[in-house]
Chain A
Amino acid sequence: MSAALHGLVLAGGHSTRMKRDKATLTYLGTPQLPKAYSMLSGYVARCFVSVRPDQADDGVRNAFPQILDSVAVAGPLAGIMSAQSVEPAAAWMVLACDLPFLDDATLAHLVEHRDPARLATAYRSTHNGLPEPLCAIYEPASREVLQAYAGSGRTCPRKFLQTHDVALLEQPTPRALENVNSNEDYWAARAGLLPENENKSVQVTIQYFAILRDQAARSDEALRTDARTPRELYEQLQQRYGFTLPADMLRVAVNTEFGDWAQPLADGDAVVFIPPVAGG
């Protein structure tokens, strides 16, 4: 029987080339970290975000179950090894958070073709034929081998996969694992995902709850708007319905995940403004 599969989204990088936090980059209205987390969650028993200890409380990462880096190894290997030390009996499906083209077919194919008898299952890059270490499954047996590998001063997970007994799969979607390391890559990726001109109006749906539902006298609506962000959209709706809550008392959700007031709205986005909550 193969080991239970747990998920780990790698969000501990320094993003040194981009000079901005890759976990917060937004494509089609969804920031990368929540998107990666929610995609991966569909394939694993439990899902975690790998973070450096100094990132644990930041607003992007503290919404998720975390595994803090606990081993002194440079780069993504630290995250993988820390997860293995938390749950040595699990196989870890590892996913970088900076893959804007990642699709469900790629994750499903990896899980379906996992070979638990090898140390890991990974994709061969369509770009250069080398193993892709950050969308891969690491079996429990890889733990000690990785420890020895890191113990000898090596830190490159790609080289690890090249030199050990792993299953390498062809990618079902060719560009799915291209990542984003510069602002140029980011805008190019967004352009690739968003064919329309960003400045024109977008069609969105809005669901209202609690006091906003009472004041708007409706529970939902679809509308076309020239608002570029949720903040602008709320300002427009506040004028229309006389909402008494100021925007800074609310949170916003886009496509059923907490979002950012400044993220660009895209066609088809489902927006929910969240008044102060009062469960319990």
Chain B
Amino acid sequence: MAGFAFSRTPLDVVAQRRALADPSCGGYAAFEGWVRNHNEGREVTKLEYQAFEALAVKEGARIVADAITRFGVVSAACAHRIGALEIGELAVWVGVSARHRDEAFRACRYIIDEVKHRVPIWKKEFYVNGDSGWVNCERCALPSRADALPAGHRHDADAGPT
């Protein structure tokens, strides 16, 4: 199986993992991204994820299919939460099953990196003092900073729980 899906309820990692099982596989690698209680020096109390789902599921599925082809793994999948999440909750899960561990690790890393960079998902952080902000959107929006940003910054999702 191969796919990318959103969920509005907690992810069932056991079921996700089971769907990747295959007798030809000698290894399974997974990545879990959790909601962290701090980011860039600020205390975070909770998160909200929003997604442009119609395009995000297509782009996510392309990434997963691409990883399967590129690394020759047997199965891969990615699931992402949407909506409000508390500290410690599982926000994103990537799983890969493969004949050998090396390609499983590499495909897993590739999928989470590409998802963070390419898939239209946004994260709003809520801070202890009551403020909130969209990660990667607020500071880049300031004109004084925008000019100073490196060219590659545009869609780099560098902050957040993962």
Q: Report the bound CA distance from A63 to B59 in whole Å.
A: 8
CA distance A46 to B143 in the complex (A): 43
Q: Which residues of B contact A47 (CB under 8 A)?
A: 65
Q: Closest CB-CB distance, B82 to chain A, in whole Å? A: 10
Query: Which residue of chain B has its CB nearest to the CB of A67?
Result: B69
Write the A246-280 contact mask toward B (1 if CB under 8 angstroms, else 0).
10110101001110000000000000101111111
Give every chain B residue within 8 A of A274 (Cβ-Cβ). Answer: 52, 120
Query: Chain A interface: which size bin?
Result: 20 to 34
* Interchain CB contact under 8 A, B65 and A65: yes
- Selected from A65, A213, A249, A280, the residue in CB contact (under 8 A) with B162 is A280
A272, B58: Cα distance in complex, Å = 15
CB-CB nearest in chain B for A63? B62
**B interface residues, tally (CB under 8 Å):** 46
Q: Quick check: is B100 within 8 A (CB to CB) of the other chain?
A: no
Stretch of A19-27, A117-125, A139-147, A203-211 contacting B (4+ beta carbons < 8 Å)? A203-211
**B117 partner, pick from A65, A209, A214, A277, beta carbons under 8 A:** A277
- Tell whether, in the assembled complex, residue B65 and residue A275 are in contact, meaning their CB atoms are under 8 Å apart: no
Check if A162 is an interface residue, CB within 8 A of chain B. Answer: no
Is A280 touching B160 in the complex (CB atoms < 8 A)?
A: yes
B134-157 interface bits toward A, Cβ cutoff 8 Å, 1 = contact, 0 = none: 111110111100100000001111
A244 at the interface (CB under 8 A from B): yes
Q: Known: A65-B62, A280-B160. Contact between A275 and B134, CB under 8 A?
A: yes
A242 smallest CB distance to B (angstroms):
11
* A245 located at the interface, meaning its Cβ lies under 8 Å from any Cβ of chain B in the complex: yes
Contacting A at CB under 8 A, from B63-109, are 65-66, 69-70, 80, 91-92
Most buried by A among B49, B80, B122: B122
Contacts of B65 in A (CB 8 A): 46-47, 65
Q: Is the interface of B mostly helix, strand, loop or mixed?
A: mixed
Which residue of B is nearest A272, CB measured? Answer: B52
Chain A nearest CB from B69 CB (Å) reads 5
Point out the residues of chain A lying under 8 angstroms from B46, CB to CB: none
Is B5 an interface residue when CB atoms closer than 8 A count as contact?
no
Checking B66, B115, B134 against A280 with a beta-carbon cut-off of 8 angstroms, the contacting residue is: B115
Chain B residues with Cβ below 8 Å from A278 are: 116, 121-123, 134-137, 157, 159-160
Bound-complex Cα distance A63 to B58 (A): 11
Residue ID in chain A nearest B70 by CB atoms? A65
B141 touches A245 (CB 8 A): yes
Q: For residue B117, which residues in chain A have a CB less than 8 angstroms away from its CB?
A: 277
* Pair A280/B120 contact, Cβ less than 8 Å: no
Q: Is B44 an interface residue (CB 8 A)?
A: no
A92 within 8 A of B: no
User: Are B141 and A279 interface neighbours, CB within 8 A?
Assistant: no
Q: Is A64 an interface residue (CB 8 A)?
A: yes
Residue from B62, B112, B137, B155 with most neighbouring chain A CB atoms (10 Å): B137
Asked whether, in the complex, the Cβ of B116 is within 8 Å of the Cβ of A277, the reply is: yes
B55 at interface by CB-CB < 8 Å: yes
Q: Are A276 and B52 in contact (CB under 8 A)?
A: no
Verify if B9 is at the interface (C-beta below 8 Å from A). Answer: no
Evaluate contact between B157 and A277: CB separation under 8 angstroms. Answer: yes
* A38 proximal to B (CB < 8 A): yes
Q: Is the CB of B137 within 8 A of A245?
A: yes
Give complex CA distance A47, B69 in Å: 11
Interface members, chain A 154-180 (any B CB < 8 Å): none
Known: A46-B65, A244-B142, A245-B141. 18 other contacts (CB 8 A): A63-B59, A64-B66, A209-B51, A213-B50, A245-B140, A249-B141, A253-B52, A253-B120, A276-B137, A276-B156, A277-B157, A278-B116, A278-B134, A279-B92, A279-B121, A280-B91, A280-B92, A280-B161
Instruction: List the interface of chain A (C-beta within 8 A of B).
Output: 38, 46-48, 63-65, 207, 209-211, 213-214, 244-246, 248-249, 251, 253, 256-258, 272, 274-280
The 9 A-B residue pairs with the shortest CB-CB distance in the complex, in nearest-first order:
A279-B121, A210-B122, A244-B141, A276-B136, A280-B162, A278-B135, A280-B116, A211-B137, A278-B123
